[in-house]
Amino acid sequence: MNELGSKAALEPKADAPGADPGLRGDILVRGSLSPDGVASVIDVSFVAIVCPSSLNRIKVIVRKQGEQVADWSRRQLGYLLAVREKDKRLKYRNAFRDPLAAMAFTTGGFSSSKSKAWLTSLQAVARGSEGPIFDLSAALVRARSAALH
């Protein structure tokens, strides 16, 4: 990525003093295209909503009287993704010199509000609404598959 003076690197290692050297982020973005507009270590998580741990987590989101099922489902998904992002922020607390931006998506494509806001900002320089999520996914797959070979 080099749009608007931004640069990205895959799998940055934890670089803060005292951090676990085995920790790494998914993408380091520096420049105006980072989630905070300066620099961010991005951790991308994909959550399967049908796995037992996810189903147990969303049980706490009770359907309100008169609430449409679609609205209730969106609240459940939003809660599930918020919990995942919180877990990542705790895991990576004080691991990087740059701030961590945890981004969570369901395997079906639903994104957290923070993730959606960042992807929306990327659409201004990307090739369409699916461009940023495809690019993130492709970058992660390339990085992970290279580590396996």
Domain count, the chain: 1
> Does residue 103 contact residue 85 with C-beta atoms inside 8 Å?
yes
pLDDT at 148: 45
In a domain, 41, yes or no: yes
Query: Would you say residue 106 lies in a domain?
Result: yes
| 111-119 mean pLDDT | 85
Return the pLDDT at 35. 87
Phi and psi (nearest 5°) for 75? -65, -40
17 lies in which domain range?
A: 3-134
Q: What percent of the chain has pLDDT over 70?
A: 79
* Separation of alpha carbons 133 and 120, rounded Å: 10
Q: Does 140 reside within a domain? A: no
DSSP type of residue 63 = P
103 touches 45 (CB < 8 A): yes
Q: Is the pTM of this model over 0.85?
A: no
For the stretch 37-88, pLDDT in tens is 899 999 988 888 888 999 999 999 999 999 999 999 999 999 999 999 999 9
Q: Report whether pLDDT(109) > 90.
A: no
CA distance 52 to 62: 17
- Per the domain annotation, does 143 fall within a domain? no
